[in-house]
Structure 1
Amino acid sequence: MKFYHLLAILFVFNYGFSQSETYLSKEAYEELQVLAKTSIYVNMDSCFYYVNKIEQSKNPIHKAFANGTKGYLYQLENDSIKSKEALQKSYLYLNKVSQSKEKLQLKAYLLNCEGLSNSDRYNLKIALDKFQQGKKIAEEIGDLVQVLKFNSNIASINIDIGNYNAAISIHQESANFLIKNPDLFPKKEYEFLLANTFVSISNCYQSKYELVEKEAKLIDSAVIYSEKALEKIANNSVLRVKTLSNLGNIQFLKKNYDKASKAYLEALAISKKNAITTQNLLLTYNLGYLNFEIGQYKKSLLYFKKVDSIWNANKNKKITNEYLSSNYYQTKIYKYLKDDTNFLKHSKIYLQNVDQFETFESKLLEETLDVNNNLKNKNLKKEILQLNEKYRTNSLIEKVIYLSSICTILILLFLLIKKRKEKEKNKIKSANLIQEYKINIENKKKLNQKIEKENTNKETKKISIDDEKENEIVDLLEKLESKNKFLNHDFTQEYVAKKIKTNTTYLSFVVNKRFGKSFNDYITDLKINYALNEMITNETYRKLSLQKIADSVGYKSTTSFRKSFIKKTGIPPTEFLKNLN
């Protein structure tokens, strides 16, 4: 903010302070309050100036507000100690205020400041708890403005834990509320809140596209909301930088590297002009990474060196992802350039700091898990309750699907291994059958037909039949076999007995004695042996469908044929045919 602007503000509010600076009128307090809130993300020095003026008042409400705001400002400067001290001080002043709606409003505001401070420290569980407490108070006293702000901050927690759908829904409802109720806020604060909501929605769509679903409509939505934000924030440098940076990220994801670079450079120019250190670091790193991705290693190296310079100039030596990654990529670049000295230097920096950063990342992961549990167990009101109920359901479904998928994969692997083993066994069986067939051909025997003319070991019924009659039955059976009569569907024991002019008892006795099997097994062997013979020797036969093959050997269904084939050979007919081919 320019000097003459500060003079104008001092002039306007001079009437609000007594000469001793111990009294602040209600009107002056409210005006300074608005200026402090609207300058938090624009110029922190100006914001400190306004809250220091408010703190000079004897009114404990004023002092509580000032210290609560300073608590958040100190945290934005990464000074957690001063932040905690200021917030503790704010509650001490709050305790001096008598019970009233104004006190409850102030308490909700302090809880918001405390939640934001903890969120910035990645104490997400504590932050969420503070936001929920504050929202409950705001709802009880009908403070819609603060309810809106708490909803926005709860949405931010959802973003931090990757619950983008819930965050988008909350932010969209907030945007709709703002559009319908512009008069609830001072103009500057209204524009900031609406633009910030649009940027948050854009960021959600971008993150969802990048980390969850690669759908074009998501990235298109991200662009739309970023452009909406830019329309509202012409005079807000911090938010403009944030939006342009977001647009740069979107174009980078779309591989529009020229547009991405242009957005980053424009944002960096504004950031440098307004001394926004955190954005300077992030944007410089983004430009370095962009150039690394497109193979401009020397240009990339210049930006990464600047990242290190910005980080080293910062009083707070907290390891950031940008600083750590910068040294990682510098290590790779120097290795490519065969600069051993700098290669060793930056690899050493990376290795020395990676453990510290991983500890921080681990803490953040633990916080995320805790917050997820918290979101599941807290009884949130209305839209938050509904959104998180949906989130819980989706999360449970995802877990069930994941576990089911693992089980299915294990079962499929087991079945696949089992099937492969069976295939190997069937190949061996097929080879043995073919070999047996060849041997039988050489010996002029029928395939797999082991005729036992005398079955003295097997006990049979004591039926009186002379050798001449027995030989006659066998001769007649062989004549039927030679004519392939067994291929008929009606080739039953009754049919055969009638055909050879004997009875079923004699027929069964002779087959059992001479062939060592029941009549049904005798007929089955004839049919299956015929099918095997045709499969092995007749290429045309092998091309028939299983139903036609079954019909050709007198089976009415493929099921019964398949069952008989497996019983005889040990493998399915389709598998045998496949091995033959």
Structure 2
Amino acid sequence: MSKQIPLLFLVIFTCIVSYSQTKKEYSESDLDYFKKKFYLNREIGVDSSLYYMNKLLQSNNVAYKTFGYAATEYLKVREKQPINIPFKDSINKYLPKIAKTNKNFSLLFDTYILLGNSNKRRKLIEPALQNYITAENYALLAKDIERTIKIKGNIALIYQDMEELGKALNKAKETLKLIEVNKETLSDKYYSSKYKRMFNVAAIYATLYKNNKKKHQYADSSLHYYNSILKTKEFKLNSYYTGKVYYGMGTIYSLKKEYSKASSFLEESLGLFKKSNSQSYLYKGYYNNGYNSYMLNDLEKAKLNFLTALSIKKDTVLDQNYMYMHNYLSKIYSKQNKIDSANYYLNTFLNNYNKVSLREKQQFKEAYKIGFDQKIKELKEDSTQKKLYYKTIVIGLTVIVLFISFLVIKNSKEKKKTKKKLDELLSKISNKENLSEKPFSLSNDLKIKDEQHQQIIKGLLKIEEKEYFLKEEFNLYNAAKKIGTNTTYLSKIIKDHKKMSFNDYTNELRINYIIKVLSSDKKVRSYTTQAIGEIAGYKNAKSFTRIFKKHIGITPYQFIEKVNKEL
């Protein structure tokens, strides 16, 4: 009997698994419930939404199952989670099998708009456009006005991304007409739909004017739509959306070179963005307001706006505004005779300029070329100013060329120095020699002054031996406490005998330790930088990488690549 119990358990377990994997029969009310859980993903959490979508994947209804796949793909793309190939193939497998009937038109619309959103996030603009156009056809077949308006707006935005502004404008205006015709049908959604499309049209006209400053009608049309939005009280805009309108008007007046008027609108928008805590628009708003102040020769105000914008930027992605700000700050500090600050922002600008792509460099040069051509045209009217201008240009170009040459030479020397240091380090690792030029232990080169001195040295040797320096709580205070001395005396002894600060001493111990581990343990070399840093006693990957590169000359990742290749 006892032998039959495991067999019985196995049979029961198999039945449970088989039952759990059986395809489910879901009703339309079930589908509506699952869809609601999906659209509430930001409130209930992505994992919860994925759980409900996984239930849909078990449905025996092809349309429901396909929506589940499309919704899951969108969430994973948005959250930058991996998607395996079989999963992608499943969408292509089930999508053509959905019957093209009235019953499925709405669900087909939802599926194709999700596929379009996923492709748009992947920067696959053409496939996204095709998905949206297909979704539009199903919205029309379903005679669903709300969905038709929504998808036409998405298509207009796609055309903007493709820089096909004529098509974008036509689609946005087409959507506005549709909203007006269906005002009664839309009911309470009429004003929210109308605002979005009016804002879209205003933004498209602004871009058209930016691309062709001779077409003043574009600027007038953009301002007309922005003003109409502000005058329509029924829109009931909150701080964020009202701020976007003022920001749009401010950018138009900047393009028209009416800088004082532009500043008044931009400052109004900044106050509203502060209320709504919109960091992205605050960043752009302070930059544009700084630019207007610079053009009005209000250097202090311009500087304050640029510095505020730089303090808001948290990501490391380079954008043109970020580069322009460093250039303008360099000019401002130069005019104020603050040479050190001017050099700092100029160097930062040049370093960032070298990091951007060739396409971005060309855009940057074109943007500046417009300004230079205009200045040259103005200087031709005055021969004296013309000579001074060319002299300044020559001097400026010479300085830039010399500076860039200096950076190239300096960089080349640093690379050679780093390579030599790394080759020596790898040689020591291969021969199992000591990694430091100085002895790793403090015991070899010390002159013991007194008993207390000797006690501290022994304490430090014990710390090294027990590898207490790897613990997160290891610092000057805790080390002194562990040894039985005070921080001042401990710091002085380390400085006398190691010729370095306590922090540098700690970093030397930790980096030498992790180099030994990486060179001897292949498994550790496969860990993430964060995990390796924690082994070495650092709280985060960023500080570990910075300190490692300072000591070794390359990043931990580059060192691991080198070790894997040469050892």
TM range (shorter): 0.3 to 0.5
Of structures 1 and 2, the one scoring higher in RCO (CA 8 A, sep 6+) is: 1
Over alpha carbons, which structure has the higher Rg? 1
